[in-house]
């Protein structure tokens, strides 16, 4: 199964997987793990970073909203990266970006979102606790926090999969459909690593190339780090 988007059922709820590392349900777009401020945090730690990752992500998100026509964006945790990365410049840049939009933005608290409440007002965010149920869909950051009693979506893991043979294998961020009941989204940020996931019985993996979604198949992927 391959295309610019692929429709799957998560606990009986139809969701579209998009090649641009996002998922859509009706008028809602789901993304996960933007890690805004990561380059700022690394610079604060002394690493030579050029920056620009935040602007790139916001432009990609703008394009997705325009193409899909959604009215709401839900971030499944880790909108932010670190406290040290939430600079005055970042706060104002994102605030200015949000002022240009009429669509709403909700964020499920993630483990990196320690100062989310401090920016929620300026960024016009609705902050959600993990486990919030949205029209029959449970929203969590960490898949381990899902109740497993109903359909759920999550992020956190930065799932990836290797495709191709040993000599020409490539690694792609991927969607992990867990037993038909849960969906783990790839990290929206391109400035992150990824962990190759192992699929269990009844699971499905879909690589995201940026433009297309490719179902990898039922063969378990080799578990490894980035």
For 166-224, the pLDDT digits (tens) are 777 899 999 999 999 999 999 999 888 888 998 888 999 999 999 999 999 744 433 33
Q: What are the residues facing 23 on neighbouring strands? A: 17, 30
Q: Supply the mean pLDDT for the chain.
A: 90
How do the domains of the chain map onto residue ranges? Answer: 2-217
Measured CA to CA, the distance from residue 193 to residue 181 in angstroms comes to 26
Q: What is the CATH number of domain 2-217?
A: 3.60.21
Question: pLDDT value at position 50?
Answer: 57
Write the DSSP string, the chain.
Answer: -EESEEEEEETTEEEEEETTTEEEETTEEEE----BTHHHHHHHTT------HHHHHHHHHHHHHHHHT-SEEEE-S-SB--GGG--HHHHHHHHHHHHT--SEEEEE--TT-TTHHHHHTTTTEEEE-TTEEETTEEE-SSGGG--SSS-EEE-SS-EEEEES-TTT-EEEEEEEEETTTEEEPPPS-SSS--EE----TT-EEEEE-SS-EEEEESSPPPPB--
pLDDT at site 222: 37
């Amino acid at each position: 199964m391959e295309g610019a988007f692929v429709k799957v059922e998560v606990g009986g709820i139809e969701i579209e997987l998009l090649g641009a590392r996002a998922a859509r349900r009706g008028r809602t777009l789901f993304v996960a793990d933007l890690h805004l401020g990561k380059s700022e945090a690394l610079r604060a730690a002394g690493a030579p970073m050029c920056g620009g990752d935040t602007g790139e992500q916001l432009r990609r998100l703008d394009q997705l909203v325009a193409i899909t026509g959604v009215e709401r964006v839900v971030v499944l945790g880790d909108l932010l990266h670190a406290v040290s990365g939430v600079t005055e410049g970042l706060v104002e840049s994102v605030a200015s970006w949000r002022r240009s939009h009429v669509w709403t933005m909700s964020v499920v608290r993630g483990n990196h979102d320690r100062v989310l409440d401090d920016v929620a007002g300026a960024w016009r965010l609705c902050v959600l606790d993990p486990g919030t149920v949205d029209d029959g869909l449970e929203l969590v950051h960490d898949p381990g926090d899902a109740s497993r009693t109903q359909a759920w979506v999550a992020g956190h893991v930065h799932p990836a999969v290797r495709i191709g043979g040993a000599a020409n294998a490539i690694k792609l961020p991927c969607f992990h459909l867990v037993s038909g009941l849960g969906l783990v989204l790839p990290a929206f940020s391109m400035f992150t690593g990824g962990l190759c996931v192992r699929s269990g019985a009844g699971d499905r993996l879909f690589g995201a190339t940026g433009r297309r979604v490719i179902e990898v198949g039922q063969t378990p992927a080799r578990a490894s780090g980035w």
